[in-house]
């Protein structure tokens, strides 16, 4: 059995030459304890050739059941947020910081995220998006490698290095948070408009 060794996770992730290989490697990987309690691996959804990648926190109950990210209530809201700026899952690629559901939907621990991070970095390298949007505090903190809060950081663009890939990146609020705090939708809407403007600026949409 493969142990909970970050160096081993890095070597395994680096050995993947394609997203299919990475998914297969993760399917075999036993180093992260989250896998033991999850129903299945939740690797990705959307278009692997997309220039936009969205990164959430972790699969929930519906995602664990179906095997795809953002298919529950927050996924439905995410689809509406994307549709509001002319996007859908044929135009974006979606993954999470960890690909297995944490028990009871708790936030993944720093150790769990650290073990899964090399795989996420490799996933980003293989998709090679021009633009990344993170959803919620934990995904923002992991990708931007910061302890700052999401309320302070959201909406601020940065040129981010993820593994050996560089992309324009921005954080927004998590759709699950928006479902609990509808008043915050105004801020998320500003972030979606800012994403649309960035895509136009980069010539990625009309």
Instruction: Enumerate binding residues for ligand URA (CB under 6 A).
Output: 56-60, 63, 69-70, 74-75, 96, 135, 176
Please count the residues of the chain: 206
Shorter beta-carbon distance to ligand URA: residue 51 or 96: 96
Nearer to ligand URA, 181 or 203 (CB): 181
Q: Which is nearer to ligand URA, 13 or 173 (CB)?
A: 173
Residue 142 near residue 113, CB atoms below 8 Å: yes
Residue 43 CB, shortest distance to ligand URA, in Å, is 11
Reduced 3-state DSSP string for the chain? CCCCCHHHHHHHHHCCCCHHHHHHHHHHCCCCCHHHHCCCCCCCEECCCCCEEEEECCCCHHHHHHCCCCCCHHHHHHHHHHHHCCCCCCCCEEEECCCCCCHHHCCCCHHHHHHHHHHHHHHHHHHCCCEEEEECHHHHHHHHCCCCCHHHHCCCCEEEEECCEEEEEEEECCHHHHHHCHHHHHHHHHHHHHHHHHHHHCCCCC
Q: Which two tokens stand for residue 164?
A: 């050996």
Q: Output the six-digit token pair for 169.
A: 């990146």
* Beta carbon nearer to ligand URA, 8 or 23: 23
Nearer to ligand URA, 42 or 131 (CB): 42
Residue nearest to ligand URA (CB): 56
Considering the complex, what minimum distance in angstroms separates the CB of residue 64 from ligand URA?
9
Nearer to ligand URA, 14 or 151 (CB): 151
Minimum CB–partner distance for residue 17 and ligand URA (Å): 26
Q: Smallest distance, Å, CB 202 to ligand URA?
A: 25
Least Å distance between CB 134 and ligand URA? Answer: 10
CB of 197 to ligand URA, least distance (A): 25
């Amino acid at each position: 059995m493969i142990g909970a060794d970050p160096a081993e996770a890095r070597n395994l992730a680096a050995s993947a030459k394609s997203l299919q290989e990475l998914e297969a490697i993760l399917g075999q990987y036993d180093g992260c304890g989250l896998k033991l309690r999850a129903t299945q691996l939740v690797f990705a959804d959307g278009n692997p050739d997309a220039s936009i990648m969205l990164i959430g926190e972790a699969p929930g109950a519906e995602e664990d059941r179906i095997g795809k990210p953002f298919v529950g209530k927050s996924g439905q809201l995410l689809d509406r947020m994307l549709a509001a700026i002319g996007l859908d899952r044929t135009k974006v690629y979606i993954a999470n910081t960890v690909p297995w559901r944490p028990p009871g939907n708790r936030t993944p621990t720093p150790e769990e995220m650290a073990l899964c991070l090399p795989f996420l970095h490799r996933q980003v390298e293989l998709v090679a998006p021009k633009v990344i949007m993170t959803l919620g505090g934990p995904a923002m903190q992991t990708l931007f490698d910061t302890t700052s809060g999401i309320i302070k950081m959201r909406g601020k663009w940065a040129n981010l290095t993820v593994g050996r890939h560089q992309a324009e990146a921005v954080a927004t609020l998590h759709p699950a948070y928006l479902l609990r705090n509808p008043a915050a939708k105004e801020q998320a809407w500003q972030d979606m408009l800012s994403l649309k403007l960035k895509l136009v600026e980069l010539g990625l949409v009309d």
